[in-house]
Amino acid sequence: MDEATVVARLRALEIETPSWGYGNSGTRFHVYPWPGAARDVHERIADAALVHRLTGCCPSVALHIPWDAVDDYGDLRAFAEGHGIRIGAINPNLFGDDAYRLGSICHPDVEVRRAAIRQCLECVEIGKELGSSLVSLWLADGTNYPGQDDLRARHGRLVDGLEEVYAGLPPGMRLLVKYKFFEPAFYSTDLPDWGTAALVCRGLGPQAQVLVDTGHHPQGTNIEQIVALLLGEGLLGGFHFNNRKYADDDLIVGSVDPFELFRIMREIALGDSTGVAFMIDQAHNVEGKIDAMIQSVMNIQTAYAKALLVDEERLAEAQAAGDVLGAHRFLLDAFETDVRPLLARMREELGVTRDPVEAFRAGGYTARLAEERGTASVESAYERT
């Protein structure tokens, strides 16, 4: 692919950042507050807008409801647009309520299921007010012990519940169904893998597609093969990018296994990714939130740039000739290409700096935000957490 086409494809790549990635987050062990970290939905949107100003490719921010709930969504939409970004995917939170101990849409109790479906339909209405065209749904639903509940009955509830949510979608809005093989459930998860999510989406209809979280698979899973298959079936609705070494660690995408990210983005480069939502889902527990998000965006761009540089023509010849190593080396050539100069030129074309992380750090944003938000010191950050 010639450089101009590579740059054009790179410029067309839009990456949505998650509101929940800008606030203080932690593990069950502790939450370490970061000076200047966003404390409410307006600060989270403002930080997402800063990431867009510095990268030029993050024009939307995903919200999580009720974490980002407000009384007037019209105001919130105007606030975001006033900061130069739009609201992206709406994430219903069906795990943060006492009632959901045994699940939400798959719960044995019909009243709890009804409440969960109502919450999803509220998110559809919120999405309409905010001009969003995506509801991305992850269910923590599952069981912890064999015999705790009937596995077939739970799947039946899942399908029935999602059919009601799907019926509430206006034309043009998509339901992205996200799977995860375990946690917080430790015996069975009702939406555990791509196959279950694909079956459910096929059953629902064309406005339902699968959301692939790169941290939600058992070790050793060939994620790019799942991506290739879902793309080929028109079932790939989007990604929640992050990286992990062990479980759902939600680390900076590409920080543990950049070659895996390259292989995933190559399937995107090869296929028609129109309508695929490229979103990040991360938690920055020990590092600054904004520069970590910018680095994540740059890592995705880097992987995509390298993927676009694979000599697909000669690779196809080697594959046809059964030249196993030769074929593999075409991927290595691209992966080992230094694409930083090309990305720097692309950013200049976009009117942003060559290295947005450096621009953030040299720009004194952290100190300014900490000052403005009164959390300059860790102590004050503690008080405000």
Question: What are the residues binding ligand LRH (CB under 6 A)?
Answer: 20, 91, 138, 178, 180, 213, 240, 248, 281
Q: How far apart are CA 31 and CA 25, in angstroms?
A: 6
Q: Which does 138 bind (CB under 5 to 8 A by kind): ligand LRH, Mn ion, none?
A: ligand LRH
Based on the shown chain and the rule CB under 5 A, indicate whether residue 47 belongs to the binding site for Mn ion: no
Q: How far apart are CA 171 and CA 162, in angstroms?
A: 16
Phi, psi of 263 (to 5 degrees): -65, -35
Q: Which does 209 bind (CB under 5 to 8 A by kind): ligand LRH, Mn ion, none?
A: none
Asked whether 159 and 200 are in contact (CB, 8 A), the reply is yes
DSSP three-state, residue 257? coil
DSSP three-state, residue 208? strand
What residue number has its CB nearest to Mn ion?
Answer: 248
Based on the shown chain and the rule CB under 5 A, indicate whether residue 248 belongs to the binding site for Mn ion: yes
Q: Which does 20 bind (CB under 5 to 8 A by kind): Mn ion, ligand LRH, none?
A: ligand LRH
Based on the shown chain and the rule CB under 5 A, indicate whether residue 241 belongs to the binding site for Mn ion: no
Rounded to a whole number of angstroms, the minimum distance from the CB of residue 282 to Mn ion is 9
Rounded to a whole number of angstroms, the minimum distance from the CB of residue 350 to ligand LRH is 29
Residue 39 or 178 with smaller CB distance to ligand LRH = 178
Asked whether 342 and 305 are in contact (CB, 8 A), the reply is yes
Cα radius of gyration (the chain):
21
Residue 138 or 335 with smaller CB distance to ligand LRH = 138
Residue 62's nearest CA partner among 139, 126, 140, 105 is 126
Rounded to a whole number of angstroms, the minimum distance from the CB of residue 250 to ligand LRH is 7
Single-letter residue type at 290: I
Rounded to a whole number of angstroms, the minimum distance from the CB of residue 209 to ligand LRH is 15
Residue 113 or 216 with smaller CB distance to ligand LRH = 216
Based on the shown chain and the rule CB under 5 A, indicate whether residue 185 belongs to the binding site for Mn ion: no
Rounded to a whole number of angstroms, the minimum distance from the CB of residue 23 to ligand LRH is 11
Kindly indicate which of the ranges 63-71, 80-88, 163-171, 248-256 contains the residues binding Mn ion, using the contact rule CB under 5 A: 248-256
DSSP three-state, residue 243? strand
* Farthest CA pair distance, the chain: 65
Rounded to a whole number of angstroms, the minimum distance from the CB of residue 178 to ligand LRH is 6
Kindly indicate which of the ranges 21-29, 37-45, 242-250, 299-307 contains the residues binding Mn ion, using the contact rule CB under 5 A: 242-250
Query: Which H or E run contains 326?
Result: helix 324-335
Parallel, antiparallel or unpaired: strands 208-213 and 174-178: parallel
Please report the sign of the dihedral spanned by the C-alpha atoms of residue 130, residue 135, residue 140, residue 141. positive
Binding site for Mn ion (CB under 5 A): 248
